[in-house]
Amino acid sequence: MKTRIQRPLKLLAALTATLLLGTVGLAALALQGRPLVPSAASVAPADVARAKRLLRMNDPRRARPGELHSLRLSEGELVLLLNHLGRHQLAERAPAMRLRLLTARAELQASFALSSWGWLNLQLGLREDGRQLAVDSLRLGRLPLPATLGQWMFAQGWHRYGQRGELQLARELVQQVSLQPGQLEVSYRWQADSYKRLLGSLLDAQEQARLRAHAELLERWTRDSARQGVAPLTELLPAAFALARQRSANGGDAAAENRAALVSLALYAVGRSPASLLSVAATRTQAHPLPLILQGRPDFPQHFIISAALAAAAGGPLADAIGVYKEQADALHGSGFSFNDLAADRAGARFGLLAMREPAQLQHRMAAGVREHELLPDLSDLPEYLSEAEFRRRYGGVDAPAYRHMMAAIEARLDGIALLR
């Protein structure tokens, strides 16, 4: 009897040991000590400029419904967009990526940092498949895997990040995908209802309800405050967060409500209503914004609230890069490089991150009202209106020691504000 019991136990132990050893062996093959692709640098202002230019040039909404159009992207442009997508979806866990476009094929490499475990290096082979790309090879570290697993991983990735509707729309619009050395060409046909469907895929019903509520708030606030002629940020910001607090009561998503408040205010700051993100049927509310004011200036609230919205939606580094890019663009085409505007960008980015990290606490804090010096320190002594030549003469560029010293001083000044510390 004892022998009969011991034999199955020994067999089970052997199977368990084999499974564990196999798992360890697979992990050893998949994980590596070095990244296949060097870590991507932080988001650079020039990259933001290129991304914005790409989006403007290839905005399918400009296409006439029913007409066939083509989109051509180089390897570098595709990597730029992939890296931005990774940062948006994965934040600090975003991989570094490298791409090669060949005749009818593409090869993608990505390196994921796994803390003390090392690196997970992915190599993915893609081939033309009519209206889309298909996975034809997959390797994790030194471990080759079936291509069908790559297809499954791709589908799971779309499912994980809630873009199945967007993917379905893309499949319907795309007519042909062509891979050539160094270039991808996509032929697509934009339909009359495509924009409305795209918005529906990007914003679920709850998000649309949040934005609709803030559109109605801004309409009421604008109507009631029209005699003022201006909209002090210190009045409008607490009103928006009071609504966010009310809507997130009883177990609601405080971070999502805060994000909707900041996105709505950012649109308001540039003269648009949150209704512009919704389908026509979703709301008829249209706000006619009053000029936002902070410390007597209309530019400070725009910098602050737009950076806050970007930080809440996409993380601090992107908000920082867009703030720097705007100032560099001003140096070339506008009023010049202004460190006080850049300080307002940084203050807004801190506020936006706080709205995500401590959402309920910030709602409670804003309910008591806020004063100007609690959002932004005195910046009147910071250099502004610098031409490109003057900026480079005095600070040497955004990577030079003089510039970094000035930015460190700005960060120290922001550290002195309890709300932003």
Which of 254, 366, 351, 369 has the alpha carbon at shortest distance from 301?
A: 351
- Give exposure, 352-391, as e/b (b: 16+ Cβ within 10 Å): bbbbbeebbebbebbeeebebeebbbebeebebebeeeeb
The owner of tokens 């509310």 is 285
* pLDDT number for residue 382: 94
Report the candidate in 189, 349, 352, 198 with the shortest Cα–Cα distance to residue 277.
198
Distance separating alpha carbons of residues 101 and 126, to the nearest angstrom:
10
* Residue in this structure with the two tokens 């020691």, named with its chain if needed: 401
Q: What is the DSSP letter of 192?
A: T
pLDDT of residue 25: 43
Q: What is the DSSP string of 336-367?
A: -B-HHHHHHHHHHHHHHHHHHHSHHHHHHHHH
Residue range 231-256, pLDDT digits in tens: 999 999 999 999 999 999 877 899 99
Mean pLDDT by 10 residues, the chain (421 residues): 51 46 47 76 58 63 73 80 61 74 90 78 86 84 82 67 58 84 86 65 75 88 84 94 92 90 87 64 54 92 90 61 52 73 93 94 93 94 90 87 94 94 85
Query: Cα–Cα distance between 213 and 412 in angstroms, integer?
Result: 37
What is the secondary structure of 291-305 as a DSSP string? PEEBTTBSHHHHHHH
Q: What is the pTM of this model?
A: 0.61
Q: For the segment 265-299, what is each residue's pLDDT rounded down to a tens digit? A: 988 887 776 666 665 444 444 556 788 999 999 99
pLDDT at 62: 63
Residues 6+ apart with CB under 8 A from 418: 374
pLDDT, position 211: 86
Longest dimension (CA), the chain: 94
- Whether the Cβ atoms of residue 398 and residue 45 lie closer than 8 Å to each other: yes
Question: What gap in Å lies between CA 348 and CA 363, rounded to an integer?
Answer: 16
Q: Rounded to 5 degrees, what are φ and ψ at 121?
A: -100, 125
